[in-house]
Amino acid sequence: MAKPTAVMMHWLEGIFEFLFKYRPAVFAKGSFAFGAPFSVIVLLLAAAVIAVPAVMSYVGVRGKSTRRDRWVLGTLRVAALVVLIACLFRPMLLLSAAVPQRNYVGVLIDDSRSMRIADRDGKSRSDWIEHQFGGPDSTLLKALRQKFIVRLFRFSSNAQSVDSAAQLTFGATETHVGDAIEQARQELDGVPLSGLVVLTDGADNSRAPISDELLSLRAKSVPIFAVGLGADRFDKDIEIRRVRTSHSVLKGGALVAELLIRQRGYGGAKVPLVVEDAGRIVSRDSITLPADGDVSPVRVAVVAHDAGPRSFTFRIPVQPGEQVEQNNSQQALVDVRDGREKILYVEGEPRYEMRFIRAAVAADSNLQVVALQRTAENKFLRLDIDTPDELAGGFPKTRAELFRYRAIILGSIEASFFTHDQLAMLADFVNVRGGGLLMLGGRRSFAEGGYAGTPLADVMPVVITGDAVADSMTFYADLKVALTPAGAGHAVAQVAPTMSASEQRWKTLPAVTTVNHIRQVKPGAVTLISGALAPGGRAGEPGVPLKSYEAPVLVYQRYGRGLSVAFPVQDSWNWQMDPNAPDNDETFSRFWRQTLRWLTSDSPSRVVVSLGADQANPKNPVVIRASVADSMFVPRNDAKVVAHLTSDSGYTRDLPLDWAIDRDGEYRGTFTPDQGGVYTVRVTATLPSGAAAGDTGYVRVADLNTEYFDAEMRAPLLQRIATETGGKFYTPATAKTLAEDVALSKHGVNVVNQMDLWDMPAVFLLLVALVTAEWSYRKMRGLA
């Protein structure tokens, strides 16, 4: 019987004979038409067939060899045979390359201001562009032009073709990467395009997602080769990223602004924060910077003394070593109104609270509190009315009469005083008209006044249950008030010249009392002032004292278009009578002036103008939106609406606004300012009946410094653009291979280069090395 090894070797010789004999028909140069997986499977099967007899040839031999010797020699023989059989397949490497001077490449160069930032060894980002693309002999530009027809584009908010990089100014105020790429692709749509090269820091400020542009590029098979310029993290920089404040405030009111501040390299440092109104410093405070990279909110309060559109500047002085100086300040345009807001105060009984509140706001020329006080059954005292007929029949009975007011205060007045229609009107006053509603504490308000189950129970920011006894004094609590974190930065809490002084003053105010048992605040409501059982005070019902008690003192929520506020305290006038306060203390009057101003701040008129943003760059379109309603605040689609545009530079224009079909009562128009300045947009709406109403908005037009905010190189965005389009991301240090990578991108007109891997000298040397290694090992071990 033949030995197994001999049989296997004979079988192997037969396979080799078959491969050599039939190879041209099965594995010829065009054999890959069968598919790469087929060829790989055949190669693996052949290798397995070869490996078995090669190993068995050593397994069956013992002699002086050890197990380790047999494994080493078997591995070397298998490797040599695998290389040999692979060469029999004649493997080839197919390389697709662009045909020289037959394909186009678009080079998009960021021409925005952020390219001036010097954040790499004291050199600006534009220096690298000028060195690599500034002239015909520039390194990367020359390498690309040797292989492609190159088209240069400069881009900011759009892309524009240029003859050379010398036309770049690096002065544009916006960067819209997605729009620019799409415009360049469309311009090169009719030519064989190998790809687009984008030189930018990725500081896109278009506020629009780039997904649509990437989808179009993938559909057109256009790869993006993005070169990210600049540092992806600054070493030393302070940035006011955003300022958020009210767009409108009454003259003399507190304006609270929330700033988002980020810094690198100055963690924990104390720096001044300066607020200016048209160049005049109105506030200066010291703040502590957050840790490196963290974004920290900072609140600052200022008083708006001058009426009209006011441009407030919030800035931190430039610190030593900062890499970017232009992002240390932000501006906000605020409409300081000098009108008189009309508020209806309904009180069910004579009491000190109404007297002191009216006295607190009496000197405020911007607030008019019209009082309707019940003095006896069906008898009322009317105060501060405009005409003898106003409120002559008591509480308003029609929506048109009620909706003339901007806000309503309900004192200690029971729900049964109102008809069901009047309660529904009050709910609509907040929900539909967008007014402010404030309910004060008292023995006839909240649950104790029977408001559970009424339309106002839904409006209020606190839960009004039906288990209280109406018109009772069974519950009582002494409360020591305290600001919540939300309240500390709110305008109503600013009772002193600075925010820190206001917080300290609230801690020293005397206790107040409540007879309304508020058990729960609604989800979504915000508590500004809370109360807890005052030291030495009492809480609870007769015979059922409470050892501890906490309740909201000032809480609000948005309801529909309007604002609802609960203040379940019956004697806030105790703050005015504080024996420890100086004679000229204005805490009580400031609190109520600020509260009533806030209550009316968002109450809309019949016409409301919205400009989207309070600042814009020249030659950028500004969208005007105007909401129009009648006296019942029902949206109207049949009005004639015209926007009257003026600017402080003398510009005037009347722009008709068209009804937006997709939204009732909304009219839209667009204008493009050519020059800087503050533009006044006065919108007038005239109904078919002849009734007219209007509103005014403002927009500041100037060259904004948006390019310097969030200006670190955004590698994740550029990597995403390159990856999703089949391109590649580079930095200046890795961009040397850019031209070669574009040439191998397989886009445009390409030629396929064929290289025989089996005929390479390296393969022959590898085969010789394996055979020599086997023989040398056997010689060394004495097995030869």
Q: What DSSP assignment string belongs to 555-612?
A: EEEEETTEEEEEE--S-GGGGTT-TTS-TT--HHHHHHHHHHHHHHHT---SEEEE-S
Number of residues in the chain: 784
C-beta of residue 226 within 8 angstroms of C-beta of residue 198: yes
Q: Supply the pLDDT for residue 62.
A: 56
How does residue 544 score in pLDDT terms, banded at 50, 70 and 90?
confident
Which residue's entry shows tokens 């090894």?
5
Q: How many angstroms separate the Cα of 289 from the Cα of each of 200, 245, 259, 269, 296? A: 30, 21, 12, 5, 8
**Residue 40 pLDDT > 90:** no
Q: Supply the pLDDT for residue 54.
A: 57
C-beta of residue 490 within 8 angstroms of C-beta of residue 528: yes
659 token code pair: 């009804």
Q: 288, 284, 296, 286: which is closest to 269 by C-alpha?
A: 288
Lowest model confidence (mean pLDDT) among 17-26, 42-51, 539-548: 17-26
**Residue 440 pLDDT > 60:** yes
C-beta of residue 213 within 8 angstroms of C-beta of residue 181: yes
Q: Supply the pLDDT for residue 589.
A: 95
pLDDT per residue as tens digits for the range 56-84: 665 555 556 777 877 887 888 788 878 77
Quote the CA–CA distance of 123 and 116 in Å, as a whole number.
Answer: 9
Q: Supply the pLDDT for residue 210.
A: 86
Q: Supply the pLDDT for residue 566.
A: 98
Q: What is the mean pLDDT of the chain?
A: 87
Q: For residue 344, give the 3-state DSSP assignment.
A: strand
C-beta of residue 545 within 8 angstroms of C-beta of residue 493: no
What pTM value is reported for the model? 0.77
Phi, psi dihedrals of residue 518, rounded to the nearest 5° = -90, 115
Phi, psi dihedrals of residue 277, rounded to the nearest 5° = -115, 105
- When pLDDT is averaged across residues 557-570 and rounded to a whole number, the result is 96
Q: Supply the pLDDT for residue 18.
A: 46
C-beta of residue 185 within 8 angstroms of C-beta of residue 151: no
What is the rounded (10 degree) CA torsion for 138, 141, 142, 145?
-160
How does residue 694 score in pLDDT terms, banded at 50, 70 and 90?
very high
**Residue 45 pLDDT > 90:** no
Q: 12, 3, 73, 72: which is closest to 47 by C-alpha?
A: 12
Q: Supply the pLDDT for residue 96.
A: 60
Q: Supply the pLDDT for residue 42.
A: 57
Residues with Cβ within 8 Å of 409's Cβ and at least 6 positions away in sequence, in order, are 343, 344, 345, 346, 357, 369, 438, 439, 440
462 token code pair: 């606190």
Q: Where are the beta strands (DSSP E) in 592-725?
A: 607-610, 615-616, 622-628, 640-647, 652-659, 666-671, 677-686, 692-701
Q: Supply the pLDDT for residue 57.
A: 60
Residue 347: in which H helix or E strand, if any?
strand 341-347
Quote the CA–CA distance of 731 and 566 in Å, as a whole number.
Answer: 58
- When pLDDT is averaged across residues 326-339 and rounded to a whole number, the result is 94
Q: Supply the pLDDT for residue 19.
A: 45
Q: For residue 314, give the 3-state DSSP assignment.
A: strand
Q: 730, 737, 466, 434: which is closest to 607 by C-alpha?
A: 434
pLDDT per residue as tens digits for the range 740-749: 999 888 776 6
**Residue 619 pLDDT > 60:** yes
C-beta of residue 300 within 8 angstroms of C-beta of residue 314: yes
Q: How many angstroms separate the Cα of 185 from the Cα of each of 222, 293, 743? A: 8, 36, 18
What is the rounded (10 degree) CA torsion for 511, 516, 517, 523?
-100
Based on C-alpha coordinates, what's the Rg of the chain? 40
**Residue 194 pLDDT > 70:** yes
DSSP 8-state symbol, 172: B
pLDDT per residue as tens digits for the range 233-267: 999 999 999 999 988 999 998 899 999 999 999 99
Q: Supply the pLDDT for residue 234.
A: 93
pLDDT per residue as tens digits for the range 376-426: 888 999 999 999 999 999 999 999 999 999 999 999 999 999 999 999 999
Q: Supply the pLDDT for residue 38.
A: 47
Q: Supply the pLDDT for residue 759.
A: 73
**Residue 353 pLDDT > 70:** yes
Q: Supply the pLDDT for residue 63.
A: 59
DSSP secondary structure of 16-42: HHHHHHHHHHHSSTTGGGG-HHHHHHH
**Residue 520 pLDDT > 90:** yes
How does residue 223 score in pLDDT terms, banded at 50, 70 and 90?
very high
- Beta pairing class for 692-701 and 652-659: unpaired
233 token code pair: 């993290």
Quote the CA–CA distance of 700 and 332 in Å, as a whole number.
Answer: 9
C-beta of residue 681 within 8 angstroms of C-beta of residue 645: yes
**Residue 33 pLDDT > 60:** no
Q: What is the percentage of the chain residues whose pLDDT exceeds 70?
A: 88
Lowest model confidence (mean pLDDT) among 229-233, 336-340, 585-589, 754-758: 754-758
780 token code pair: 């060394």
**Residue 12 pLDDT > 50:** no
Q: Supply the pLDDT for residue 389.
A: 94
C-alpha distance across the termini of the chain, in Å: 28
pLDDT per residue as tens digits for the range 591-601: 999 999 999 99
DSSP secondary structure of 72-122: HHHHHHHHHHHHHHHHHT--EEEEEEEPTTTSEEEEEEE-BGGGG-EEETT
State whether the Cα torsion 646-651-652-655 is positive or negative.
negative
How does residue 441 score in pLDDT terms, banded at 50, 70 and 90?
very high
Adjacent-strand bridge partners of 337: 250
Quote the CA–CA distance of 451 and 467 in Å, as a whole number.
Answer: 11
Higher pLDDT pick, 161 / 9: 161
C-beta of residue 659 within 8 angstroms of C-beta of residue 667: yes
Quote the CA–CA distance of 713 and 132 in Å, as a whole number.
Answer: 19
Q: How many angstroms separate the Cα of 478 from the Cα of each of 355, 550, 634? A: 22, 10, 45
